[in-house]
């Protein structure tokens, strides 16, 4: 009886201690939050998220995947300095992936380490001498969360049923951003730098929406062209209309690099698989050019290409100017390891004449990585993408269409990385790496099952 009472007394003590700590945290949190009611509203949400993590971490992860595209405006209102409540979601995703990595039955652990370790190690080293430590830590954790998404894509997908379940979640996640995007357009969208109107939907920038749409379009296209049974036939018949809606919304974003990536995707697919798509590839740009906003966006690149006093540069010329300014400012002694993570943003106030007192991103992943992490960092990034493409290509005969589309996603990423701050777009990177990880995993296990069947039949 004493032992039983003693156990209850310990439990009571733990409960009381937890209640006291929660109370102290709440008081401190209220003090820190100051005049931000959104932070106070976020407190119960954080507690619910923590409870879900304890009860079923993979259910929590599924909910994060389903609703992350609509959370950017909410999370932005909970910012305290460089971090927001979104950092808690990032941390939980990293923890869930870390638990998965250390499970005994994780066959692909060495593969993950081989392709991701060089990039993450170089980033970690260059965080150590970054000019703005907290910003560098934030960027590093974002890249670590991308690794976590790739890891979970591999860990959670081992059968076609698994793949179908998680890809359906991604499709469902796109419904609100797509339909809200048309409402955003009808209500005026967001004003661009040139005074025009662009659509961002539930994201913080039109470019993020554009790149997200490319992912969902590619995934939807796979479901249409493949003979998968995990997509209901009625829903499958609606997917062509859904893709058309996304293409229209893509035009509304006015993101030219996404237009180019979309054009390249359908052109290459037409050349390699179905020539009839080439007709659409030829006709669609001509038709789009008759849309005034699209035509103006393209014609804009033909003017403002020279840096002159009181002149206005077009967006591409502006990008080239900041690239040249940053690279010319670099000293040869920093070519190997750069100036530290997020250094380009920090030093843009110094080297860029058009900074205007505002820190500017490189709008080019390759320039950013060379400036921040030097040649070694840029090469490790190329190694990451090259390795993934190489290992995916080895499974091409297992599922030609799936592997082709995955490699196309990698090529699209490489293309749009030339003209955008792609590493900072967390939501887009999460979905991108989860799809790539899941695709690699299903191809790996399908090939393994086919080999086992051959061995058993001989």
Identify whether the C-beta of residue 168 lies closer than 8 Å to the C-beta of residue 230: yes
Return the DSSP state at 83: B
CA distances from 423 to 113, 259, 295, 416 (A): 20, 19, 29, 11
Contacts of 272 (CB under 8 A, 6+ apart): 404
Residue 302, helix vs strand vs coil: helix
Burial 13-26 (b: 16+ CB within 10 A, else e): eeeeeeeeeeeeee
**Residue extents of the structural domains in the chain:** 168-302
Q: On the CB side of 51, how many CA atoms lie within 13 Å of its CA? A: 6
Q: How many Cβ atoms from other residues are within 10 Å of residue 207's Cβ? A: 25
Token pair recorded at residue 359: 């820190």
Whether 126 and 377 have beta carbons less than 8 Å apart is answered as yes
145: left (phi over 0), alpha (psi -120 to 50) or beta: alpha
> Using an 8 Å Cβ cutoff, are 104 and 368 in contact?
no
Q: What is the pTM of this model?
A: 0.88
Q: Identify the CA nearest to 89 among candidates 124, 66, 60.
A: 60
Is residue 333 within 8 A of residue 340, CB to CB? The reply is no
Q: How far apart are CA 158 and CA 100, in angstroms?
A: 14
Cα torsion 107, 113, 115, 120 to 10°: value is 150
**pLDDT, tens only, 9-24:** 444 554 454 455 445 4
196 token code pair: 């025009």
Q: What is the predicted pLDDT for the residue at 1?
A: 41
Residue of 436, 430, 37 whose CA lies nearest to 208: 430
Report the greatest alpha carbon distance in the chain. Answer: 89
From first to last of its 458 residues, what are the pLDDT tens digits of the chain? 444 444 444 445 544 544 554 454 444 445 555 555 555 566 666 677 777 777 888 898 999 999 999 988 877 777 666 666 778 888 889 989 998 888 877 788 889 999 999 999 999 999 999 999 999 999 999 999 999 999 999 999 999 899 999 999 999 999 999 999 999 999 988 877 665 788 999 998 999 999 999 999 999 999 998 877 777 788 888 999 999 999 999 999 989 889 999 999 999 999 988 888 888 888 887 777 777 767 667 766 655 455 544 346 778 888 999 999 999 999 999 999 999 999 999 999 999 998 888 999 999 999 999 999 999 999 999 999 999 999 999 999 888 999 999 999 999 999 999 999 999 999 999 999 999 999 999 999 988 888 777 777 76
Beta-ladder partners of 80: 83
pLDDT for 307: 54
Token pair for residue 169?
């979640």
Token pair of 351, please? 């080297």
Is 304 exposed, middle or buried, given 0-12, 13-18 or 19+ CB atoms closer than 10 A? middle
Q: What is the CA radius of gyration of the chain?
A: 24
Is residue 90 within 8 Å of 97, Cβ to Cβ?
A: no
What crossing angle do the helices spanning 343-351 and 365-393 adopt, rounded to 10°? 150
Q: Is 227 exposed, middle or buried (0-12, 13-18, 19+ CB in 10 A)?
A: exposed
- pLDDT in the model for residue 342: 95
What is the SS3 assignment for 313?
coil
Q: What is the DSSP string of 2-22?
A: HHHHHHHHHHHHHHHHHHHHH
Number of helices (H), then strands (E), belonging to the chain: the values are 19, 2
Report how far residue 406's alpha carbon sits from residue 362's, in angstroms, rounded to the nearest whole number. Answer: 27
| Count of alpha carbons within 13 angstroms of residue 197, beta-carbon side | 13
Tokens 């991108």 sit at which residue? 432
d(CA 342, CA 324): 17
Residues found in the chain: 458
CB contact at 8 A, 68 and 430: yes
């Amino acid at each position: 009886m004493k032992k039983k009472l003693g156990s209850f007394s310990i439990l009571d003590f733990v409960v009381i201690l937890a209640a006291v700590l929660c109370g102290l945290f709440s008081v401190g949190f209220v003090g820190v939050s100051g005049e931000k009611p959104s932070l106070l509203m976020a407190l119960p949400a954080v507690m619910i998220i923590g409870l879900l993590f304890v009860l079923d971490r993979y259910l929590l992860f599924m909910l994060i995947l389903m609703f992350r595209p609509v959370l950017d405006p909410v999370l932005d209102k909970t910012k305290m300095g460089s971090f927001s409540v979104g950092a808690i979601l990032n941390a939980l995703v990293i923890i869930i992936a870390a638990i998965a990595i250390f499970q005994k039955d994780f066959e692909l652990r060495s593969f993950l380490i081989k392709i991701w370790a060089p990039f993450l190690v170089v980033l970690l080293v260059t965080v150590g001498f970054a000019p703005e430590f907290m910003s560098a830590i934030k960027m590093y954790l974002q890249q670590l969360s991308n690794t976590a998404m790739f890891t979970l894509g591999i860990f959670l997908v081992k059968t076609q049923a698994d793949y179908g379940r998680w890809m359906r979640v991604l499709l469902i996640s796109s419904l609100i951003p797509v339909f809200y995007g048309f409402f955003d357009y009808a209500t005026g969208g967001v004003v661009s730098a040139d005074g025009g109107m662009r659509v961002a939907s539930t994201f913080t920038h039109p470019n993020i929406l554009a790149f997200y749409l490319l992912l969902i379009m590619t995934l939807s296209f796979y479901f249409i062209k493949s003979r998968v049974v995990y997509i209901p036939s009625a829903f499958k018949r609606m997917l062509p209309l859904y893709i058309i809606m996304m293409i229209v919304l893509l035009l509304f974003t006015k993101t030219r690099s996404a237009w180019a990536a979309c054009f390249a995707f359908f052109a290459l697919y037409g050349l390699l698989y179905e020539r009839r798509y080439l007709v659409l590839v030829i006709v669609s740009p001509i038709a789009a050019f008759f849309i005034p906003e699209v035509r103006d966006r393209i014609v804009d690149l033909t003017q403002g290409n020279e840096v002159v006093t009181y002149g206005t540069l077009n967006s591409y010329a502006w990008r080239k100017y900041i690239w040249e300014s940053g690279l010319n400012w670099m000293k040869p002694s920093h070519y190997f390891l750069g100036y530290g993570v997020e250094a380009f943003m920090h030093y843009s106030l110094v080297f860029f004449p058009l900074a205007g007192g505002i820190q500017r991103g490189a709008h080019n992943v390759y320039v950013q990585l060379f400036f921040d992490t030097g040649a070694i960092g840029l090469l490790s990034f190329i190694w990451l993408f090259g390795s993934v493409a190489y290992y995916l290509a080895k499974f091409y005969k297992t599922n030609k269409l799936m592997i082709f589309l995955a490699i196309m996603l990698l090529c699209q990423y490489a293309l749009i990385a030339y003209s955008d701050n792609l590493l900072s777009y967390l939501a887009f990177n999460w979905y991108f790496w989860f799809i790539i990880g899941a695709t690699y995993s299903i191809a790996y296990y399908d090939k393994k099952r086919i080999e086992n069947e051959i061995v058993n039949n001989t």
